[in-house]
Amino acid sequence: MATTVNIIVGSHVWVEDRDTAWVDGEVTKVNGEKIEVQTTSGKKVVANLSNVYPKDTEAPPAGVDDMTKLSYLHEPGVLQNLATRYELNEIYTYTGNILIAVNPFRRLPHLYDTHMMEQYKGATFGELSPHVFAVADAAYRAMINEGKSNSILVSGESGAGKTETTKMLMRYLAYMGGRAATEGRTVEQQVLESNPVLEAFGNAKTVRNNNSSRFGKFVELQFDKTGRISGAAVRTYLLERSRVCQLSDPERNYHCFYLLCAAPPEDIKRYKLGNPKSFHYLNQTNCYELDGVSDAEEYLNTRKAMDIVGISPEEQDSIFRVVAAILHLGNINFTKGKEVDSSMPKDDKSRFHLEMAAELLMCNVQGLENALCKRVMVTREETIIKSLDPDAATTNRDALAKTIYSRMFDWIVEKINNSIGQDPDSKNLIGVLDIYGFESFKANSFEQFCINFTNEKLQQHFNQHVFKMEQEEYTKEEINWSYIEFVDNQDVLDLIEKKPGGIIALLDEACMFPKSTHETFTQKLYQTFNNHKRFSKPKLSRTDFTIVHYAGDVTYQADLFLDKNKDYVVAEHQDLLNASKCPFVAGLFPPLPEESSKSSKFSSIGTRFKQQLQSLMETLSSTEPHYIRCVKPNNILKPAIFENQNVIQQLRCGGVLEAIRISCAGYPTRRTFDEFLDRFGLLAPEVLEGNYDEMTACEKLLEKKGLKGFQIGKTKVFLRAGQMAELDARRAEVISNAAKVIQRQIRTYIARKEFVALRKAATHLQTLWRGKLARKLYEEIKREAAAIKIQKNVRGYHARKTYTKLRLSAIVVQAALRAMAARNEFRFRKQTKAAIIIQAQWRGHRSYSYYKSMKRAGLSVQCAWRSKVARKELRKLKMAARETGALKEAKDKLEKKVEELTWRLQLEKRLRTDLEEAKAQDIAKLQLSLQAMQVQLDEANATLVKEREAARKAIEDAPPVIKEMPVVVVDTEKVDLLTNENEELKTLLKSQEKRADEAERKCAEVQELSEERLKKMEEAESKIDQLQESFQRLEEKLSNLESENQVLRQQALVMSPTKGLSGRSKTAVIQRSPENGHLLNGEIKATASPVPALKDAAEAEQRPQKALNDRQQENQDALIKCIMQDIGFSGGRPVAASIIYKSLFHWRSFEAERTNVFDRIIQIIGSAIETQENNDVLAYWLSNTSTLLLLLQRTLKASGAAGMTPQRRRSSSATLFGRMAQGFRTSPSGTGLSFSNGGMIGGLDALRQIEAKYPALLFKQQLTAYVEKIYGMIRDNLKKEISPLLGLCIQAPRTSRASLVRGSARSHANAAAQQALIGHWQSIVKSLSNFLKTLRANYVPPFLVRKVYTQIFSFINVQLFNSLLLRRECCSFSNGEYVKAGLAELEHWCYEATEEYVGTAWDELKHIRQAVGFLVIHQKPKKSLDEITHDLCPVLSIQQLYRISTMYWDDKYGTHSVAPDVIASMRVLMTEDSNNALSNSFLLDDDSSIPFSVDDISKSMNQIDLSEIEPPPLIRQNSAFNFLLPRAE
């Protein structure tokens, strides 16, 4: 597969590495056939040019989901792609139609839930991401469409996940087949429950695996003609029988032997067992136990599994008796007998084991000994009994053990099949093959030879399938493929199985000769196949031989080939065990036909193995195969570890690399035209600029480059091996030349830039130097000017200092003189003021003393007079009190009670009022105190002024000889006293102001608290009112539901409405007087009474009753005939619903016990909506049924007596005929329920609640069901209409880059193509608009319209988002722009449709909107996980973000996805979520439930006024429907 051309310096290649299998690097030197490579690991490697492979540097960072899309289809490319995808948890990858599954060694439940099954159901293979469900769906679809059985071949070494893969396949097939569970267990569960049993008896430890299947299992799921599972079966092939007797170290025998040896003590005692080391069939190796496995626990688990699959305890006991008997048989050793060439049990120990084996098999001990030590030969003349020597007896013993075990295993498989249940009449089946893989150990014996022979057969079948797929691909593309060579391994198969002369034939021939040994056998092989290219002889061995298999060379040791191949069918064994007293053992050996029981026949295991393999291949050849290759990424069974060497070996053994070789034999590289031109268009720009189509452009490009052998298909370019590398080399050369041109220009630009910078620097340096010189000269001039300025300032300073000192001296002298004059003036004025104050205080004291004496005298006089008047009044009151004392006391008590009650009622108001009053009083008091103090102050000031004036006049008039010193002292004391009082008053005023502020603050706080409490009380009162209203509504609903349930419980006791109506008219008639229709004597008379006197009266009553019945039937017929037509709408209200409701209300049908009018209306509705595709009809009836349901919901209530038995006595108004008669006898103008009399003018709220009976309640329930059904039909019709368009909207149509640059002549076509990109979205918008137009034309309530569009937008969100997550080609930048443009169209439509009809439907697209926003955002590597999860995509889960991030690819700008550390953080969070949650599916689920209830409709729809609705002409002409006519004012 390697290429030897176009490897140049700088090429990126893959080279072999001892540790990692392959490592990438860059070629640094080419020396003929040797090249030197600098690897990414830092090593320098010298390799041969023929052993390196080119690397695709433009491969997607997340790998490709189909490895046929790889630019270079070779071993390292495949390995790198698998490793890349495995790192991103993408465990499935296609190679054409082959699925490669890498075991993740962790639970990924989101990959296998029901949502994922629904996504892959019916999807085209390859359309979605690779998955095991896709293979199962392809097999199921092929079986259904082509009517041919299919098979799925699951291969891989143990631990690769074959069992889990098989389980998922059967789960999906059971999901598609849909067979009901049997006894609570589905088909795949029953098949999987048989695994522990089959593993116990068919699995063993090998060199590589502790639980290796030593047989092939083919699970058949059988289907009937309709595609439903009708049965299942487990077919086993190629059981390794020789393992029972011969083992190699460190392997083990079958698990069941060790499980039985670890059984409970009572079982061990019953079977006389012991340590496994004591049995010959187990102690041939040193391995007896498995790490981490308890044989005792596994024994109990196996017992439980046998119970589950239907093996009874007796049969289980028989099975383990046989297993124990085989162990005892192996311990029977033989020695020479008394006769020549005879044998006998060696010792007492052997005799004991012989007796135990006979006891367990329930056969004769002597018969068993004879069967082992003697041989009966039947000839024509006589029967000869021949004794066997010890070696022959040992061989005979081993043959018996292998035969017993093989037949017991077959019986267990047959028992399991009977438990599962097979369908012998099944025409089609899907089989799942789980078989051991290719084996190559250090020591390979006969078992490995048979296993590898099986895999060679399966590989030939696989190669034929792959070659067939290649042929189909070439035929589809219409290219010539006749000369392509088919890679076949028939020569290896001929080497092994050819007759005569094959290895198996030579082995059988050697086994038939008694004196043959393994040495003679190998010498025969060397002579026969000396020149065979697939056979070779190792140099250092005389008994080994090597076969070149498809997966590599395997050397076999022939030492035990002859012993392991011998398998005699001995007639003595058959006769002995057929006569066993144990029915189980006897059943394993049924009687043989007479001709086959005469003598012993030689039978080899190799031949039987070949026959079974041929049977398996015939079964597979009759089916259409599908392949799944399971890969174990590491041997330590840990997640996130990918061992390259281990994986590459499995890919070789699984035939995947062989399939790649087949592809390389033809055209391994295939590219669509647009991809090819995008990548290699730069090799021939003139071709792109020409006016060529894509096919012609590709062909001209290849011809220009001189390539030969390529093929141009209908949609793809097919290149031979090495041509892709050659084109890439030329492309790299073109890119390299372009890079050189760019480098030359850049270097020129850099050199000129440096020169300009240098010149600019020199100029700048000169400028700086000149500036320095100028600054130096300036500094000198500046220093000289500064010296002059300093001198001037110093002289000025000295002059100012002298002047200032003189000025200050003059000012001091003036100040002293002026101060002395001022002090003298002050002293005089102070003395004068003190005298005036003293005089004023004295005069005030004298006046105040006189006032106080006058006030005391007045008070004394007033008190005396009032006391006299009060004593006189007291005497009068005592006289009156003696008469009215008792009454007054009672009155006082009552008044106190009234006052107390009044106080309690108005406590809150009084508190608030008191607080306000207290506040007002405090403020008023403070204001009064302030005013009083102010008045006092004013009076004191006025008095002081007056006294001053008086004192001044007195001083002026007084003689100068008056002594003033005492007066001055007295005036000073008065002044101090007044000053202190003034200060006290000020202090008191301030304290009063503080108290006022404090009171005001407390008052404000109390007021706020009071207001807050008042608000809480108001809120509590409103909540109490709401709770009371809700409680009342719930009580009403509960009573209605209880009544309805009570009615429905007695539905079995009530006859159907149609039968009940006719039956009642025949069995019971109520007698009424002809005047008023009331009961006579209050009784119900039976018409079938045997009394002759009552017969005439009953007939007389029945005649008017029959007339009423006929009349009512005619009216019903007229109503039904009317509503069968489309009678439209009146003022936006459905006419049919209104006349139905008015008629039923007028006839009092809601209160009737028996009537058939409801059934007839329901039948009309059901027949009208049979055509599910007519949205106009469905919308019409949705409008009518919802309106009618609204009227019933607001009018009807369940009757409390509705559940009573119909046999009770009823009044005349309780019967349908009574109500009808009363309705007809009452004129429409006089009734209080007539609609024409304006009974509904006030709307529905003016109607009284009607106690509905059972038929009305049943009608309401049926009507509710029809509303939900019609709603669902309308919603599903719209889903069906837009579903095909959604598949086109998720992925933008591909337009090649070349087609967009082919010249200006196509600019208009490109513009049209760009305009057509949103055509699918516009189709969806058109469908939504037409649908909305239909709903609005039929006046469907906006509430229902909003619900429809909310669910439709949710459906769009689910479909687009799931498709985005399942298709990698959709997670691109350009596709995100395309979907974003389409979503903008939907948003514009929502804006135009208005919120009344769309509601919050736009919010349902939040998942796809955020996902698309993430796709088109720039600089993704700079975004942190917190920004992504909280700002960009808060709705998306970590699983969804992880999948989008790993699948993203930028096809427009070539940018990368989010940073690797963000991906790693997401993976850690996913791991934590998977440990905590049961399911973490990244897919969304579509909700198809009914999103509303009857109460929702009732609350959302407005009141309906039915008074002005005009009835249709058919009703208007009927006088019986006059009550429907609107009455004129």
Among all residues, which ones are annotated catalytic?
A: 158-159, 163, 209, 212-213, 437, 439
* Selection from 1404, 1345, 1416 nearest residue 1378 by Cα: 1416
Measured at the alpha carbon of residue 370, what is the angle toward residues 364 and 376, in degrees to the nearest 5?
Answer: 125
Among 1348, 1318, 1354, residue whose Cα is nearest residue 1334: 1348
Looking at residue 32, its amino acid is G
Q: Positive or negative CA dihedral for 1422, 1425, 1431, 1436?
A: positive
Q: Omega of the bond prior to 1421 within 30 degrees of 0, cis? A: no
- 1027-1047 burial, b at 16+ Cβ within 10 Å, e below that, comes to eeeeeeeeeeeeebeebbebb
d(CA 423, CA 226): 14
Which two three-digit tokens encode residue 992?
């009063």
- Burial group, residue 643, by CB count within 10 angstroms (0-12, 13-18, 19+): middle
Residue that the structure tokens 């047959």 belong to? 414
Question: Residue 1022: how many CA atoms within 13 Å on its side-chain side?
Answer: 5
Q: How far apart are CA 1067 and CA 1076, in angstroms?
A: 23
Looking at the DSSP assignment, which residues form a beta bridge with residue 102? 631
Cβ(251)–Cβ(204) below 8 Å: yes
Tokens standing for residue 134: 């896709």
How far is residue 80's CA from residue 89's CA, in Å, rounded to a whole number? 14
Query: CA 262, CA 300: separation in Å to the nearest integer?
Result: 10
| CB of 241 closer than 8 Å to CB of 406 | yes
Coil, helix or strand for 713?
A: coil
Please give the Cα distance from 467 to 457 (Å, whole number). Answer: 15
Cβ atoms within 10 Å, residue 1010? 16
Measured in whole angstroms, the distance separating CA 1204 from the mean position of its chain's CA atoms is 50
Three-state DSSP class for 1521? Answer: helix
Which residue is listed with tokens 């020199």? 762
Collect all residues with Cβ–Cβ distance below 8 Å to 1334 and sequence separation of at least 6.
1175, 1176, 1179
Per DSSP (E only), the strands in 156-204 are 203-204
Residue whose C-alpha is closest to residue 715's, from 675, 679, 668: 675
Structure tokens at 617: 């291949």
Question: Which residues, listed in sequence order, are joined to residue 377 by a DSSP beta bridge?
Answer: 384
- Residue 1440: phi and psi, rounded to 5, are -70, -45
Whether the CB-CB separation of 229 and 440 falls below 8 Å is answered with no
The residue type found at 783 is R
Is residue 451 within 8 Å of 438, Cβ to Cβ?
A: yes
Please answer whether residues 345 and 351 qualify as being in contact, where contact means their C-beta atoms are separated by less than 8 angstroms: yes
Look at the chain and count its residues.
1529
Which DSSP letter does residue 469 get?
H
1052 contacts 1153 by C-beta, under 8 angstroms: no
Contact 301, 196 (CB under 8 A): yes
Question: How big, in percent rounded to 5, are the helix, strand and coil portions of the chain?
Answer: 65, 10, 25
> CA 1112, CA 1520: separation in Å to the nearest integer?
9
